[in-house]
Amino acid sequence: MPRSKIAGIGMYVPANVVTNQDLTRYMDTSDEWIQERTGIQQRRYAHRTEETTTTMGVEAARIAIERAGITANDIDFIVFATLSPDYYFPGCGVLLQRAMKMKEIGALDVRNQCSGFVYALSVADQFIRSGMYKNILVVGSEKHSFGLDFSTRGRNVSVIFGDGAGAVVLQPTEDTNRGILSTHLHSDGEAAEILAMYNPGTHANHWADKNYASFADAEIGEMFMSHEMIDNAQNFPFMDGPSVFKKAVVKFPEVIVEALQKNGYQPSDLQMLIPHQANLRISQFVQQKLGLRDDQVYNNIQRYGNTTAASVPIALCEAWQEGRIKEGDLVCLAAFGSGFTWASALLRW
Ligand code: UT7
């Protein structure tokens, strides 16, 4: 069975830089609070009308495809991960297929939030290993800036997230020393509501006991998106940050060690860990727990914030562009987020 390798990688971030100081114009926050709790100094926001999750994904994909030495016409499957799609449906996969004038290939959308890219990579890896496809485009892209509560009410969420996209082309390789060694996927839906965007959705009155929208008097047709939801800011993401933090610092190390052990390695064997850029404090905790040196962990949340499904491919792309990942290096990708879902991938670059 062939393995899959990353044949090309690309990233795109919008030009518009938004500093912590800029955010103080909209909400009661400070550069000091944001940096101390998250490490974030600035993030990028997409152009309000000209850029979407799909267009940013296309920009990253063009670079990945070119670096793989192929054309958009050669792509035989698309896996697109995002939590901020252009439309509720259809997904961004088909919009990218249209924008890039690709053949009538399959396009799959993955909705696994922060671990979306690692899940998407794992799906693509299985298709390559089975021999079904030869050039799979895997994209992670987010336009968070369009769907955040920029009032003080939403500050614990809105200061964290940023926009951007990353993409890779996966191809089969017969080289037994290269490629994706294994992927590991997990979930625990027990706490699904502690990091979630409830509306619009079909949950109806299910969460009324938690003071979310009550539909007792709703007319038919009012339950998907109501004035009440908008008035109460229930159309924005909700996050119980401290609870997410506590779970993340347990599951990140666990899933990294799982990937290493499966392949007979230990943390000291890693040349590079690319953690999902959730919070610099989480990355530092994981680094310390695994006993990794600074040069074994890549972080760029300081410049881009948390770009959810785009964060792992953006960080991987930058680490590679900066020469911090070289051929033959052992690289681990790991992510944790809403769901909860968490995942890792171990690869030989
Ligand atoms: O990638 C998806 C997965 N997400 C994560 O991994 C996020 C994990 N969680 C976190 O990163 C942290 O919990 C946060 C950065 C979100 C928050 O940091 P925290 O240290 O857990 O703060 P907190 O939520 O406990 O809030 C502490 C205080 C509160 O004020 P009081 O009640 O102590 O007076 C908040 O109202 O900080 C306040 N606060 C803010 N103050 C200034 C919350 N957000 C802000 C803000 N600026 N942006």
* Domains by residue range for the chain, with CATH: 3-173 (3.40.47.10), 179-193+238-348 (3.40.47.10), 198-231 (no CATH)
| Ligand 1 centre distance from Cα of residue 155 (Å) | 8
| Ligand 1 centre distance from Cα of residue 222 (Å) | 33
Any atom of ligand 1 within 6 Å of the Cβ of 221? no
Q: Judge whether residue 211 has pLDDT over 60.
A: no
Cα–Cα distance between 265 and 207 in angstroms, integer? 44
Q: Is 306 a catalytic residue?
A: yes
Catalytic residue, chosen from 184, 299, 306, 332, is: 306
- As given in the structure block, the two tokens for residue 145 are 């800036």
| Ligand 1 centre distance from Cα of residue 156 (Å) | 5
- Nearest atom, ligand 1, residue 23 CA: 48
Cα–Cα distance between 59 and 210 in angstroms, integer? 41
b/e map 69-88, b = 16+ CB within 10 Å:
ebebebbbbbbbbbbbbbee
68's CB contacts (< 8 A; 6+ apart) are 7, 8, 135, 169, 171
Catalytic residue, chosen from 20, 276, 279, 332, is: 276
Q: Is 114 a catalytic residue?
A: yes
Q: Is 276 a catalytic residue?
A: yes
- Nearest atom, ligand 1, residue 241 CA: 13
| Ligand 1 centre distance from Cα of residue 110 (Å) | 28
Q: Which tens digit of pLDDT belongs to each residue from 130-184?
A: 999 999 999 999 999 999 999 999 999 999 999 999 999 999 999 988 999 999 9
CB contact at 8 A, 144 and 84: yes
Nearest to 252, CA basis, from 343, 191, 332, 340 = 343
Using CA atoms in the order 88, 94, 97, 100, what is the torsion angle rounded to 10 degrees?
-30
Residues 200-212 have a mean pLDDT of 60
Any atom of ligand 1 within 6 Å of the Cβ of 112? no
Using CA atoms in the order 241, 237, 252, 295, what is the torsion angle rounded to 10 degrees?
-90
Q: Which tens digit of pLDDT belongs to each residue from 20-71?
A: 999 999 999 999 999 999 999 999 999 999 999 999 999 999 999 999 999 9
Any atom of ligand 1 within 6 Å of the Cβ of 244? yes
> Closest Cα to atom 21, ligand 1: which residue?
242
- Residue that is written with structure tokens 């009032």 in the block: 151
Any atom of ligand 1 within 6 Å of the Cβ of 52? no
Conformational region of residue 14, where left means phi above 0, alpha means psi within -120 to 50, and beta covers everything else: beta
CB contact at 8 A, 323 and 316: no
Please name the residue ranges forming H helices in 73-115: 92-99
Any atom of ligand 1 within 6 Å of the Cβ of 156? yes
With cut-offs at 50, 70 and 90, classify the pLDDT of residue 226: confident
Q: How far is CA 159 from the centre of its chain?
A: 17
pLDDT of residue 206: 53
pLDDT of residue 28: 97
pTM recorded for the entire structure: 0.95
